[in-house]
Amino acid sequence: MISKWSASIVRAAGVIMRSSAPVTYSLIALCCAVFLAGPASGLNPAYGTGDDLLAAQRAYFRRWGVIPADLFEGSAGSALTPATALFVHGSWVHLLGNMLFLYVFGAMTEERMGRVRFTLFYVGCGYLALLGYAVANADSGQSLVGASGAISAILGAFLYLFPRARVTSLLPFLFFLPVRFPAWVVLPFWVALQWLAAGRASDGPGVAYLAHLVGFGLGFCYASVRYGRPTSPTRVKAAPAPAPEGENQP
């Protein structure tokens, strides 16, 4: 059984490395593997059930997530949490929403940037996005997890690099009918929604909209400084209207 699993993993790794966007697909695989192995998925019997599972989830998020009140104490462990939190997700919806956005927008961005630069861009912008949220909420004791800051940076870079690329979106208020718009329409509209939501956000558990805005701004600014004129229009796979999430865990 173990040998079969090992062979399957090796074959999957080979397929990923031969693809046009190996870093994007590796990040998706890593986030999914971390989620399935952790307590948030509810599939690992080692974490128990009921109250034991809830306690394990809280401890897990506090260990690997960003806690703004603890981040600036100077400990090495806390300083690493904006990086570890990028690979931790709070629920199935949280994971699947983020991975869908990474799949849709990450591949083209990686192809434009290159593997190494895209990897550094993803981790660096994701770290700074979560750090920016922590600075603005320095007294918060809530743990923040999720790849949304890094994925928002990809959206920002994508808008600059491929502004005329047509994005097929599934809009809830149109009964999820697929509608195609250029990126320069879809992504600024998404930013506006994040801005409005950030203004209404409370201090309690929820979505870290500020991290989305910081990540998007970093991604757009980086692409505008590093690259020349935007690329010619192309098509992009379908993406739902809801934004990727970065959750504060209770």
Q: What is the pLDDT of residues 18-56, one digit of tens each?
A: 567 999 999 999 999 999 999 999 999 999 889 999 999
Overall CATH class of domain 2-249: mainly alpha
Phi/psi-derived region of residue 155, left when phi > 0, alpha when psi is between -120 and 50, beta in every other case? alpha
Which candidate, 113, 195, 192, 104, places its Cα nearest to that of 155?
104
What tokens does 85 get? Answer: 């939190």
pLDDT confidence band for 190 (50 / 70 / 90): confident
Cα atoms in the 13 Å half-sphere on the side-chain side of 43: 10
- Catalytic residue selected from 94, 140, 143, 212: 212
Told to judge if 94 belongs to the known catalytic residues of this protein, a careful annotator would answer no
CA distance 186 to 165: 10
- Catalytic residue selected from 140, 143, 148, 152: 148
Phi, psi (rounded to 5 degrees) for 246: -135, 115
Which candidate, 231, 219, 210, 244, places its Cα nearest to that of 66?
210
Told to judge if 148 belongs to the known catalytic residues of this protein, a careful annotator would answer yes
pTM: 0.82
| Amino acid letter, 213 | L
CA distances from 123 to 128, 181, 202 (A): 9, 29, 27
pLDDT confidence band for 185 (50 / 70 / 90): confident
Residue that has been written with the tokens 């320095």 in this structure: 138
Phi, psi (rounded to 5 degrees) for 74: 100, 0
Greatest Cα pair distance, the chain, in angstroms, is 54
CA distance 219 to 229: 15
For 71-80, what is the mean pLDDT?
82
CA distances from 225 to 190, 221, 222 (A): 22, 6, 5
Q: What is the pLDDT of residues 196-246, one digit of tens each?
A: 776 665 544 456 788 899 999 999 999 999 987 766 556 665 554 444 445
Residue 128 makes CB contacts below 8 A (sequence gap 6+) with 82, 149, 214, 215, 218
Give residue limits of the domains in the chain: 2-249
